[in-house]
Amino acid sequence: MIRTTYIFIWVVLSTIFWGLAAIFTSFFTRTGNPVHKVARIWARGILFVSRIKVTINGLANIDPTQSYVYMSNHQSNFDIPVLLAHLPVQFRWLAKAELFKIPIFGRAMRGAGYVKIDRFNQQSAFESISEAAGKMKNGVSVMIFPEGTRSRDGKIKNFKKGGFIMAVDAGVPIVPLVLKGTWSIMDKSSMRINKGEVSLNIGAPIATADYTRENKDDLMQSVRAIICEEFEKG
C-alpha cells in the first residue's frame, strides 16, 4: 500500500498543478484544444508514475480531422488517463456531473469544453446530449462510456441509450474503443493500484446515417456486440 499511497499523493499534487495550468490556459482559447493538451500531459504523468505500459492498435482507423463519437468500455478509473494520454486526437468528454464539482479539477474540465451530464435528472441529461450533438456538428469529437459507470466485475455491462441518441442526432460515426487490463490495475472495489500493461484497440468507424431515434437500439446492440467481441479475444 506504500506504493499506492505515493501514487495517490502524486496524483493529487499533479491534479492541482495541471488543473491550475488548464484553468489559466482556458482564458486564452475558445476552442478548448490547448486545455485538452494540458490534460494529456497530466494523464501521461499519472501513467508514468503508476508504471503502466499502454499498447495501441488501430490508429489507422481514425481521421484526426473527422468528428466522431468515441465509445469505450469502462473498467477502471485508469481508463480516463489511458484514453487522454494515448488517443492522439482532440475530443471532449461527456462526463458525469459529480466530477465538475471537484475543486480545480471541475473548473479545468469546463475550461476544456467538456460536457457534464446529470445521470439522475433526465431532462438535464437530454439537454447535455443536445449540447454535445451541437458541438459535433461544429467538428468536435465526443468521448463517452456507454455503460455509464465502471464495471464491478470486469465484464461489459449493458449500454445506456443517451450516447446513441447523440450520435444519431449529430449524424457522426461511432468509433468503438476497447480497453483491456485497466481492471487489473485498479478495479472498482479496490483502492490499491497495481502496475501492469493495458491495450487500447481502436475499431473501424460505424456510420450512423441510416439510423434514427426510432431504431437507435439496433445501433446500440451492434456497437456493443463489436466491443464485446474484441474484448473477449485472447
Reply yes or no on whether the pLDDT at 192 is more than 80: yes
Whole-angstrom distance, CA of residue 142 vs CA of residue 121:
21
Packed helices 162-170 and 122-137: angle between N→C axes, nearest 10 degrees: 30
**Structural domains of the chain ordered from first start:** 2-231 (3.40.1130.10)
**Model confidence, pTM:** 0.91
Whether the CB-CB separation of 61 and 178 falls below 8 Å is answered with no
98-112, 115-129, 199-213 — which is least confidently predicted?
Answer: 115-129
Whether the CB-CB separation of 70 and 141 falls below 8 Å is answered with yes
Q: What is the mean pLDDT of residues 45-72?
A: 95
The pLDDT-based confidence of 46 (bands split at 50, 70, 90) is very high
Q: What b/e sequence results for 53-73 when a residue is b if at least 16 CB atoms lie within 10 Å of its CB, and e otherwise?
A: ebeeebeeebeeeebbbbbbb
Dihedral of alpha carbons 218, 149, 35, 111, sign: positive
Q: What is the mean pLDDT of residues 140-157?
A: 90
- Give me the numbers of helices (H) and strands (E) for the chain, helices first please: 8, 7
Cell numbers that stand for 96 in this block: 458525469
Whether the CB-CB separation of 140 and 191 falls below 8 Å is answered with no
Amino acid letter, 176: P
Reply yes or no on whether the pLDDT at 124 is more than 80: no
Amino acid letter, 90: Q
Whether the CB-CB separation of 179 and 75 falls below 8 Å is answered with yes
126 or 117, higher pLDDT: 117
The pLDDT-based confidence of 49 (bands split at 50, 70, 90) is very high
Reply yes or no on whether the pLDDT at 181 is more than 90: yes
40 or 95, higher pLDDT: 40
Q: Supply the pLDDT for residue 31.
A: 84
- List of residues 6+ apart from 73 with CB closer than 8 A: 79, 145, 147, 151, 156, 177, 178, 179, 227, 231
Residue with cell 488543473: 19
61-75, 76-90, 103-117, 164-178 — which is least confidently predicted?
Answer: 103-117
Cell numbers that stand for 7 in this block: 501514487
Q: What is the pLDDT of residues 14-34, one digit of tens each?
A: 999 999 999 999 898 888 889
Highest mean pLDDT among 71-75, 106-110, 131-135, 166-170: 71-75
Reply yes or no on whether the pLDDT at 128 is more than 90: no
Q: What is the mean pLDDT of residues 3-12?
A: 92
DSSP 88-133: -S--EEEEEGGGGGSTTHHHHHHHHT-EEE-TT-HHHHHHHHHHHH
Give the rounded percent of residues in the chain with a pLDDT score beyond 70. Answer: 99
Q: What is the mean pLDDT of residues 96-121?
A: 83
The pLDDT-based confidence of 133 (bands split at 50, 70, 90) is confident
Reply yes or no on whether the pLDDT at 234 is more than 70: no
117 or 47, higher pLDDT: 47
Q: Supply the pLDDT for residue 170.
A: 87
Query: Residue 182, SS3?
Result: helix
